[in-house]
C-alpha cells in the first residue's frame, strides 16, 4: 500500500506479531537520488531525497533482518544500483510486478513486467547475481492459469528466493473475489516458497491469515488492506480496539519523526467510514503532528518529543535546505538550529542590485494553513491591512526557488523579512515571510505561534523552564520492545517449509 508501509506502520505490525514487513513501493530513481545518512538522534538509517530533504526510506535496528524493500523498476541497471545501495540495511529486495496502476504500467513497471518476460527475468537475474541478500518478486494472475504457472516457473529460474502471488488479474480490483485455487496451483508447481496475497476481504484476525494460506496451499501469506485497517490482526490473542491501535501508531510516528501528512493519511485509512465523525473531521483539518496528537490526547508527548529532538540537533524538515545552495563555494557552517549560514548570504546576493542593503530579519516560522480558517486572517492579508491603516507602502514580495523548495523575502517599512523555513510552494513561502514581519511588528505573538506549531520554543527559554521545574522530565523510548516486550522473529526467512505470516503493506 503506497504511503502506508512506512517505518511506524512496519514497527506496529512487528509488535503485533508479523514476522516480516515490506516497505511501500519505492521507485528506483527516487532512491538513486537519495543520500544515506545515519540519524543519531532517532537511531535510524535515513535515505534522504537530496532535492527537497524528504525521507524516502527510514529504517531502524528494531526491524533489522525483517524489513523487505519493495522497489518499482523497469531497468536492470537501476534495480541493481538500488539493491547494492541498500543491501546492508534490508533483509531482502522485492520487485513489484503486481501493481496495476497507470503510473506504474506506463513506466514499464508493475504488471507491465508480466507482459515483458525477458525484461522481468533480466532484472531478477541481475539482482540475484549482484547482492548477497534474498531477491523476491510479487506477481498477479494472468487471464490464463496455465500461462500464469509457466510465468512463475520462468521467474523461479532466475534464482529468486520466493514469489508472492496476488490472486487477481490486472483488471480485477479488491471488490472482486480472490482466486485461491489459482494461487494453490502456482504454489504446487514451484519449489520455492509462494506467498499468498489478496485475501483481505476475509481477514480480520491472525487465524484468518493462517486459514487463507492453508486454502491457497502456501507456507505463508502477506496482508495489505486488512492490516492497514487494523494492524493488530496479527496478535495471537485477537485484535485490539481501533482507538488503542491508532494511539500506539501515533506514538510510533512521533517517536520516529514521521511526517504529519503520512501519519494523517495512515490514520485516515484506519478510520475508514469514521472519517465522517467529529474525530475524523478534526483529523481532516489537521496539518501538524501536534494537531493530530491533540485529537488522541497525545499533544504533550508530541510537543516534548519534538522539542527534545530539536535541541538534540535533528535534521528534520525545519532544517531542510536546497542542495543547489551548496554550489556557491561558500563555507557552510551549521548554527544552533541546524540551518546553514550560506542561506542568508544567498538571499542577500540575490539583491545585489539594491543601492543600500537593508537589514534582513529572519525567524524559523512555517505557514500552517489550518491555523487560518478564514482568508481574512491570512498573514498577507493582515500585513496589507496593517500597511493601509498606518498609511505605509504595501509590502513587496520576492520569492526564491531552489530545486523544489521556495523561500520569500519581504521588503516593508525599511526592513527585509524572511523565514528560514523553506516551503514547498510559493504561496506558503510568502505567507511564512509575512508571519515573520507580523511577529516583529507586534501583530502576531511569539507564544501563539509556538502554541500552534508554527515555531519551536527557543533553547534558552526552555532551559529556564527546566530549571524552574515547569518542564516535565522526559525519556524517549529507544525501541518499541521496551514498551511491549520482545518481538517474535521468524529466523527461517525464505527457506522451504517456513511457517510465517508476512505483512506486506504494498501496492
DSSP per-residue letters across 440-506? HHTSS-HHHHHHTTSSPPPHHHHHHHHHHT-S------S-THHHH-PPP--TTTTSTT--EEEE---
pLDDT higher than 70, residue 164 = yes
Query: Looking at residue 332, what is its pLDDT?
Result: 38
Residue 455: predicted pLDDT: 87
pLDDT of residue 324: 57
Instruction: Give catalytic residues, as residue numbers.
Output: 99
> Whole-angstrom Cα distance, residue 96 to residue 25?
7
pLDDT at 459: 61
Position 456 scores a pLDDT of 81
Give the pLDDT score at 357.
57
Residues 467-496, mean pLDDT to the nearest whole number = 35
Q: What is the mean pLDDT of residues 32-38?
A: 95
* pLDDT band at 483; cut points 50, 70, 90: very low
Cell numbers found for residue 422: 523553506
How much is the pLDDT for 453? 81
Asked if residue 374 has pLDDT above 90, the reply is no
Whether the per-residue pLDDT at 344 is higher than 50: the answer is: no
Average pLDDT, the chain: 85
The count of C-alpha atoms lying within 13 angstroms of the C-alpha of 49, restricted to the half-sphere facing its C-beta, is 16
Query: CA 86, CA 231: separation in Å to the nearest integer?
Result: 26
So what's the pLDDT on residue 490? 34
pLDDT at 467 over 80: no
Between residues 288 and 388, the one the model is more confident about: 388
**Residue 446 pLDDT > 60, yes or no?**
yes
Q: Which residue has the higher pLDDT, 472 or 99?
A: 99
With H, G, I as helix, E, B as strand and everything else as coil, classify residue 126: helix
Position 288 confidence tier, pLDDT thresholds 50, 70, 90: confident
The Cβ-side half-sphere exposure at 296, using a 13 Å CA radius, reads 22
Mean pLDDT value of segment 226-249: 97
Distance CA 66, CA 97 (A): 21
Q: According to the model, what pLDDT value does residue 327 have?
A: 40
Amino acid at each position: 500500500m503506497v504511503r502506508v508501509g512506512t517505518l511506524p506502520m512496519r514497527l506496529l505490525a512487528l509488535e503485533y506479531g508479523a514476522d516480516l514487513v515490506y516497505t511501500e513501493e519505492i521507485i528506483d530513481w527516487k532512491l538513486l537520488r537519495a543520500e544515506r545518512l545515519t540519524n543519531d538522534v532517532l537511531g535510524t538509517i535515513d535515505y534522504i531525497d537530496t532535492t527537497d530533504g524528504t525521507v524516502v526510506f527510514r529504517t531502524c535496528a528494531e526491524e533489522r533482518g525483517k524489513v523487505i524493500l519493495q522497489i518499482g523498476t523497469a531497468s536492470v541497471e537501476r534495480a541493481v544500483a538500488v539493491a547494492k545501495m541498500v543491501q546492508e540495511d534490508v533483509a531482502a529486495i522485492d520487485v513489484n510486478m503486481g501493481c496495476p496502476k497507470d503510473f506504474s504500467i506506463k513506466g514499464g513497471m508493475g504488471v507491465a513486467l508480466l507482459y515483458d518476460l525477458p525484461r522481468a527475468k533480466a532484472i531478477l537475474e541481475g539482482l540475484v547475481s549482484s547482492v548477497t541478500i534474498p531477491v523476491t518478486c510479487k506477481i498477479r494472475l494472468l487471464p490464463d492459469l496455465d500461462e500464469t504457472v509457466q510465468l512463475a516457473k520462468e521467474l523461479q529460474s532466475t534464482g529468486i528466493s520466493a514469489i508472492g502471488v496476488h490472486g487477481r488479474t490486472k483488471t480485477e480490483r479488491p471488490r472482486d473475489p480472490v482466486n485461491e485455487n489459482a494461487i494453490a496451483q502456482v504454489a504446487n508447481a514451484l519449489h520455492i516458497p509462494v506467498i499468498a496475497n489478496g485475501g483481505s476481504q476475509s481477514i480480520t484476525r491472525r487465524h484468518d491469515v493462517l486459514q487463507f494460506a492453508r486454502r491457497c496451499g502456501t507456507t505463508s501469506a502477506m496482508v495489505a488492506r486488512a492490516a492497514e485497517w487494523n494492524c493488530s490482526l496479527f496478535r495471537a490473542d485477537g485484535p485490539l480496539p481501533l482507538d488503542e491501535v491508532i494511539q500506539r501508531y501515533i506514538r510510533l510516528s512521533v517517536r520516529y519523526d514521521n511526517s504529519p501528512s503520512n501519519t494523517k493519511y495512515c490514520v485516515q485509512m484506519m478510520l475508514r467510514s469514521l472519517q465522517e465523525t467529529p474525530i475524523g473531521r478534526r483529523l481532516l483539518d489537521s496539518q501538524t503532528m501536534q494537531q493530530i496528537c491533540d485529537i488522541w490526547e497525545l499533544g504533550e508527548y508530541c510537543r516534548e518529543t519534538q522539542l527534545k529532538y530539536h535541541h538534540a540537533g535533528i535534521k528534520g524538515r525545519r532544517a531542510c535546505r536546497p542542495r543547489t545552495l551548496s554550489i556557491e563555494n561558500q563555507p557552510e557552517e551549521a548554527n544552533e538550529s541546524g540551518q546553514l549560514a550560506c542561506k542568508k548570504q544567498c538571499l542577500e546576493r540575490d539583491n545585489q542590485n539594491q543601492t543600500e542593503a537593508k537589514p534582513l530579519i529572519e525567524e524559523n516560522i512555517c505557514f500552517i494553513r489550518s491555523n487560518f480558517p478564514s482568508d481574512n486572517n491570512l498573514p498577507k492579508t493582515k500585513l496589507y491591512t496593517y500597511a493601509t491603516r498606518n498609511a505605509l507602502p504595501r509590502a513587496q514580495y520576492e520569492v526564491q526557488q531552489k530545486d523544489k523548495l521556495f523561500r520569500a523575502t519581504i521588503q516593508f517599512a525599511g526592513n527585509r523579512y524572511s523565514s528560514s523555513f523553506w516551503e514547498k510552494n510559493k504561496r506558503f513561502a510568502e505567507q511564512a515571510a509575512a508571519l515573520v514581519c507580523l511577529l516583529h511588528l507586534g501583530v502576531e505573538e511569539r507564544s501563539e505561534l509556538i502554541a500552534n506549531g508554527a515555531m519551536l520554543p527557543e533553547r534558552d527559554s526552555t532551559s529556564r523552564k527546566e530549571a524552574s521545574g515547569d518542564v516535565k522530565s522526559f525519556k524517549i523510548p529507544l525501541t518499541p520492545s521496551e514498551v511491549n516486550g520482545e518481538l517474535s522473529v521468524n529466523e527461517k526467512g525464505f527457506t522451504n517449509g517456513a511457517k510465517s505470516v508476512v505483512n506486506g503493506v504494498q501496492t
